[in-house]
């Protein structure tokens, strides 16, 4: 039994890490044209996440792999029921990664503008769609007695899930703005701080609304406490941002994002995919898990290799910790070389 709980906590931790790290990543991409208003400004924004964005996505890959291995029933029901929605997310992730890599391959303004648009659209969509997906998971989906999804794609577009999507979109935009204020200088930093302060109060209201609404149909003292912590931490982040203490503001923003995500899993436990047709048809950490032998082997492998992966990622963040200025960005070539 303790292995089931352990792996539920591990998967929750991976999703928390993914949304904390990729959350500001999505925010930076979504702000590409709003904060980076010229070519140098946009290159500054891309350079703030250039060395780390692909490493952030490792958390998603690992969460998916561990879900497949530790809770195969959860993986099967979720990926079959959310097939079209997850396909859209996958296409956005692929297109966004390609855009980061290909943006600098051409030397015309039109070439860069097209890839900028791809980064912009996919970042907005991903920030929205991940919230919609987890809004459905927390709320519960139509699972029958065989743990099969019996709803339609449009069942996923319910009011609570859409509100959750708007909340994660606003939260990631604010998170990204605070990150940019920490990583940039001069006008770009001022624009990022100003955007966070203008958008932040609306996000606080959305966050409070989704926490209260979640409590009406699925919640416990832990999920409500974590939701309240997320609201308070976001308020603190905005207050500190106004004072110009960017490092502390970013830490508060991390707490807000992490507390919201942790609250989702606290609300679900011991379910992993609740059924809103009949509570007894829900997938739980017991009926969705792999065999004890499988979980035991996974535990030893994770304990052996996870510290090295975490240490490497922490080291990469430390190496690229300094602020980036537009003065450090060379002029971009405006024509393609003849060869």
Model confidence pLDDT, tens digit, residues 297-324: 999 998 888 888 889 889 988 988 888 8
**What does the buried/exposed string (b/e) look like for 180-200 if buried means 16 or more CB atoms within 10 Å of the residue's CB?**
bbbbbeeebbebbbebbbebb
The verdict on pTM exceeding 0.95 is no
The answer to whether position 177 is within a domain reads yes
Q: Which domain holds residue 243?
A: 2-292+317-324
The answer to whether position 193 is within a domain reads yes
Chain centroid to Cα 34, Å, comes to 20
pLDDT surpasses 90 at 209: yes
The answer to whether position 104 is within a domain reads yes
DSSP state letters, 243-311 = HT-HHHHHHHHHHHHHHHHHHHHHHHTTEEE-BSS-GGGSEETTTT---HHHHHHHHHHHHHHHHHHHH
The answer to whether position 287 is within a domain reads yes
**What length does the chain have?**
339
The answer to whether position 220 is within a domain reads yes
Q: How many domains does the chain have?
A: 1
pLDDT surpasses 80 at 93: yes
Model confidence pLDDT, tens digit, residues 146-161: 888 888 888 888 999 9
DSSP state of 132: H
pLDDT surpasses 70 at 215: yes
The answer to whether position 164 is within a domain reads yes
pLDDT surpasses 80 at 338: no
Q: Using 50, 70 and 90 to split pLDDT, how confident is the model at 82?
A: confident
Contacts of 46 (CB under 8 A, 6+ apart): 28, 32, 100, 103, 119
The answer to whether position 338 is within a domain reads no
For residue 335, report the phi and psi dihedrals to the nearest 5 degrees: -140, 155
Q: Helix (H, G, I), strand (E, B), or coil: what is residue 141?
A: strand
The answer to whether position 228 is within a domain reads yes
Model confidence pLDDT, tens digit, residues 14-49: 999 999 999 999 999 999 988 888 888 888 999 999
What's residue 332's pLDDT?
Answer: 65
CATH number for position 165: 1.20.1630.10
């Amino acid at each position: 039994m303790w292995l089931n709980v352990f792996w539920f906590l591990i998967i929750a931790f991976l999703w928390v890490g993914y949304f904390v790290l990729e959350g500001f990543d999505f925010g930076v991409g979504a702000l590409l044209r709003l904060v980076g208003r010229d070519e140098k400004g946009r290159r500054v924004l891309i350079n703030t996440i250039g060395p780390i964005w692909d490493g952030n996505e490792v958390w998603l890959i690992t969460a998916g792999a561990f879900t497949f291995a530790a809770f195969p029933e959860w993986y099967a029901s979720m990926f079959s029921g959310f097939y079209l929605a997850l396909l859209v997310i996958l296409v956005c992730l692929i297109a966004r990664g390609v855009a980061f890599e290909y943006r600098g391959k051409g030397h015309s303004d039109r070439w860069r503008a097209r890839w900028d648009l791809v980064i912009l659209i996919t970042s907005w969509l991903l920030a929205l769609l991940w919230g919609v997906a987890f809004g459905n998971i927390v709320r519960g989906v139509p699972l029958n007695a065989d743990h099969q999804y019996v709803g339609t794609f449009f069942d996923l577009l319910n009011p609570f899930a859409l509100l959750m999507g708007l909340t994660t979109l606003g939260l990631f935009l604010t998170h990204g703005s605070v990150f940019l204020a920490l990583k940039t200088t001069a006008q770009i930093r001022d624009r990022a701080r100003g955007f966070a302060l203008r958008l932040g109060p609306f996000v606080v209201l959305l966050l409070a609304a989704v926490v209260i609404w979640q409590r009406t149909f699925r919640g416990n003292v832990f999920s409500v406490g974590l939701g309240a912590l997320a609201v308070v931490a976001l308020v603190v982040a905005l207050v500190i941002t106004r004072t110009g203490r960017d490092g502390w503001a970013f830490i508060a923003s991390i707490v807000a994002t992490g507390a919201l995500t942790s609250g989702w899993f606290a609300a679900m436990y011991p379910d992993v995919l609740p059924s809103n047709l009949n509570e007894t048809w829900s997938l739980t950490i017991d009926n969705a898990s792999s065999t004890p032998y499988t979980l035991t082997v996974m535990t030893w492998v994770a304990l052996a290799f996870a510290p090295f992966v975490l240490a490497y990622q922490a080291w990469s963040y430390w190496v690229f910790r300094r602020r980036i200025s537009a003065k450090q960005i060379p002029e971009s070539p405006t024509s393609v070389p003849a060869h």
